[in-house]
Amino acid sequence: MASPCELLIDSNDRKLAEHLTTLAFYEAKRIEHKYSRYLTGNTCHRINHSAGKGAALDEETYKLLCFADSCFSLSDGLFDITSGVLRRAWKFDGSDRLPAPQQVKSLLPLIGWQKIEFDANRILMPEGFELDFGGIGKEYAVDAVAKKCAELVPHCSMLVNFGGDIQVTRARRNKQCWHIGIENPDSDGRANRLLRIAHGGLATSGDARRFLYKDGVRYSHILNPKTGYPVSHAPRSVTVASEHCVQAGILATLALLQGKNAESFLTQQGVTHWIYR
């Protein structure tokens, strides 16, 4: 998942903890191995190398694509899982190296979810197009791990945390909450807000670690697929609480994509949120 991952279990049973940790590890690995764009021979690689001829889909992948389609519609095309090709131009490594305008422009014809055709059995993409599940994959894995663990021990409270994307299965013993800190992007990793969560998902999106900085301007890694450039006037960080981590994660990302309208977007969605500018 390219980030620190942890499973917190409200139990003193060491064998149970070891069993749940093993279960969580293999489920997270399964999803990563299936959908990571960095691996060859997996589902993502097979779709991206179908060369305009189409590729077969299983039920899980079809449901993920349906979710991506809903996100595309909700964001008026700003959330687009075909826009990962922009990584060829943008390297958000904290440096001042911006891509040449022509380099960005040359990638725009390879972006456009509306050009993708799919149903429950098959997906067909124009040649040269790629899918990137990075915008939803980690949050999906968090929810999947939490679900499997909760099915095994429904009366035990657990917190799944993959790089700050979190799902809590239920309240702890004596109805206690888990305490979670929200990092201030300007405080070198220190949290300056403490949340109490008994159940549900929490996700944060921002530019604390992935950005470019040149001539006094900070460029976020959140890219507008219509222009190929970072969204302007976006918050430094958005945290959203929702029923599930994948919902919280996509709403946090969609808020960043709204730029200066992030707050009004989240208010319209009726979700609990925290924003740093």
Q: Which pLDDT does position 1 carry in this prediction?
A: 75
How far apart CA 241 and CA 252 sit, in angstroms, is 9
Q: Which pLDDT does position 248 carry in this prediction?
A: 98
Ramachandran sector of residue 233 (left: φ over 0; alpha: ψ -120 to 50; beta: rest): left
Burial of 8 (0-12, 13-18, 19+ CB in 10 A): middle
Q: Which pLDDT does position 191 carry in this prediction?
A: 79
How far apart CA 129 and CA 175 sit, in angstroms, is 49
Of the candidates 120, 143, 134, 175, the one whose C-alpha atom is nearest the C-alpha of residue 48 is: 134
What are the beta bridge partners of residue 191?
183
Of the candidates 210, 32, 58, the one whose C-alpha atom is nearest the C-alpha of residue 123 is: 58
pLDDT in tens, the chain (277 residues): 778 999 999 999 999 999 999 999 999 999 999 999 999 999 999 999 998 899 999 999 999 999 999 999 999 999 999 999 999 999 999 999 999 999 999 999 999 999 999 999 999 999 999 999 999 999 999 999 999 999 999 999 999 999 999 999 999 998 999 999 988 877 666 777 899 999 999 999 988 778 999 999 989 999 999 999 999 999 999 999 999 999 999 999 999 999 999 999 999 999 999 999 8
Q: Which pLDDT does position 194 carry in this prediction?
A: 92
Q: Which pLDDT does position 189 carry in this prediction?
A: 66
How far apart CA 246 and CA 243 sit, in angstroms, is 9
Please enumerate in sequence order all residues whose Cβ is within 8 A of that of 74, keeping only pairs 6 or more positions apart, or say none.
254
Number of Cβ atoms within 10 Å of the Cβ of 197? 17
Query: What is residue 177's three-state secondary structure?
Result: coil
How far apart CA 144 and CA 166 sit, in angstroms, is 11
Structural tokens at position 80: 């687009």
